[in-house]
Amino acid sequence: MAFVSVKTYSYRNLVDQKVELDASRIFLIGANGQGKSNFLESIYLLSYGNSFRTNRIKEVVQHGQPEMALHGSFFRPEEEAIAGTISFRISNGEKSIFLNEKKIQDRKQLISYLPAIVFSHDDISFVNGPPDRQRWFFNQIMSLFDPMFIDTLRDYRKILKMRNNALKNQQRDLIPVYNQQISEKGLEIQQRRTAVIAEFNRVVAPIFHTIADLEEAFSIEYRPSWKGCGSSEEIFAYLSDRTEQDLLYSTTTSGTHRDRFIFRLGKKDFSRTASTGQLRLMSLILRIGQSRYFSQKTGRRPILLLDDVLLELDGEKRKRFLKELPEYEQIFFTFLPDERYLELADDDTSMYQVENGCIQKMKNT
């Protein structure tokens, strides 16, 4: 098990309550709009210090309230058993996170503690959305098993911002300095993406073949913006050659912030030819791959959050999907009341009714 209990205060539409979690499989059953997804988000907030549903974190504060809080008690059984608490608070518009009652200064301290992977409708944007969503997904894959990669991304973005400011202000004397700095940090990101995609393909390709039941081979192609540049010196030269163009557009027109990822089925760009159903299925497969890859790299099992995604699968694909789910520390499912969720329950399942923001444990039948 991972989370033993979660307590909510002035959070979204949920009532102030403490939910005891006594199983590794948690079923949340209720009609739309009752608070099921909000509870999954609370688990994610306690695991990451951020939301998977909004970039405006203040939205999680209950309407009309000045503050909110979440408090989770957890138990990690791997290695030496570890028990503790995580608290997430927003007060006066400021976010604060506490691990075992000690305030943490950077949420990267939290990410590897109780890693959660969410399966949601919005995941389809990893496949058919803009390139920045694909970069976000693969950045998250790397950050899960190596939180220090977050520092590399932050450094790159800081240098990129300063270079863009220099371009806008026509500060030509500063451009070579930023070219050198960004080429070094960018090369590190490019090399790590290259290595991760090679490893991740070996994990996700057989999962795709099993669940999608398509004959052609599935693969992910990494297309770096600095194509053909294998050293910081080559990147520096590339940036220098494009300086006049960058000055004209007042922005950095190349770099790892413009890298792309192509999902291929055989030789075809699958995101351009697949149906909506196939795209949704592929996004779920990517999440399974992310979970398995995390476990391979760390030897640990994640928390899985499945937000109404089984509705998108027909009977046979649902069976194959559930069979391919990776090992987990704890798993949360959301269901509508008329779904056949009882067929998925086992002896380590606890079911909860969610209605008007109130979460109450049901008797297993």
Q: Which residues make beta-bridge pairs with 261?
A: 222
Same domain for 240 and 134: yes
Residue 274 lies in a domain: yes
Q: Helices 175-212 and 131-145, interaxial angle, to 10°?
A: 90
Supply the pLDDT for residue 25: 95
Indicate whether 276 belongs to any domain: yes
Can you give the residue range of the structural domain that contains 1? 1-115+300-365
Q: Encode 132-149: b = buried (16+ Cβ within 10 Å), e = exposed.
A: ebbbebbbbbbbbbbbeb
Are residues 136 and 50 located together in one domain of the fold? no
Domain membership flag for residue 121: no
Residues 183 and 249 in one domain: yes
Same domain, 167 and 257: yes
What's the rounded Cα separation, in Å, for the pair 45 and 105? Answer: 16
> Which residue(s) pair with 69 in the sheet?
9, 89
> Is 359 within a domain?
yes
Domain end among 273, 299, 325: 299
- Please report, for the domain that includes residue 286, its CATH number: 1.20.1050.90
Whether 273 and 311 map to the same domain: the answer is no
Amino acid sitting at position 109: Q
Residue partners of 184: CB distance under 8 A and separation at least 6: 232
* Statement: residue 365 has pLDDT above 60: no
Boundary-marking domain end, from 299, 326, 347: 299
Q: Could you tell me if 181 and 320 lie in one domain?
A: no
The pLDDT mean for the chain works out to: 92
The answer to whether residue 122 is domain-embedded is no
Handedness of CA 74, 123, 213, 341 (dihedral sign): positive
The CB density around residue 159, as the number of other CB atoms within 10 Å, is: 22
Same domain, 257 and 185: yes
Total domain count, the chain:
2
In angstroms, the CA 215 to CA 3 distance is 40
Residues 283 and 157 in one domain: yes
Instruction: Clarify whether residues 258 and 160 are in a common domain.
Output: yes
For the cut 90, the answer to whether the pLDDT of residue 215 exceeds it is no
pLDDT band at residue 79 using 50, 70 and 90 as cut-offs: low
pLDDT digits (tens, 9 = 90+) for 153-190: 999 999 999 999 999 999 999 999 999 999 999 999 99
264 and 277 inside one domain = yes
Across the strands, what pairs with 70? 8, 88
pLDDT (0 to 100) of residue 162: 98
Q: Indicate whether 132 and 176 sit together in one domain.
A: yes
The one-letter code for the residue type at 30 is G
- The DSSP result for 56-83, as a single string, is -GGGGBPTT-SEEEEEEEEEE-SSS-EE
Residue 120, in any domain of the structure: no
Dump pLDDT digits (tens) for 87-125: 999 998 899 999 999 999 888 888 878 899 999 988 999
My answer on whether 271 and 290 are in the same domain is: yes
What CATH number is associated with residue 21? 3.40.50.300
Q: Is 78 within the bounds of a domain?
A: yes
What digits encode the pLDDT tens for the residues 34-47? 999 999 999 999 99
Residue 306 domain flag? yes
- What is the signed CA dihedral for 248, 251, 253, 257, rounded to 10 degrees? 180
- In this predicted model, what pLDDT tens digit does every residue of 286-317 receive, in sequence order? 999 999 999 999 998 999 999 988 887 888 88
Q: Residue 348 has what pLDDT? A: 92
User: Residue 260: its pLDDT value, please?
Assistant: 96
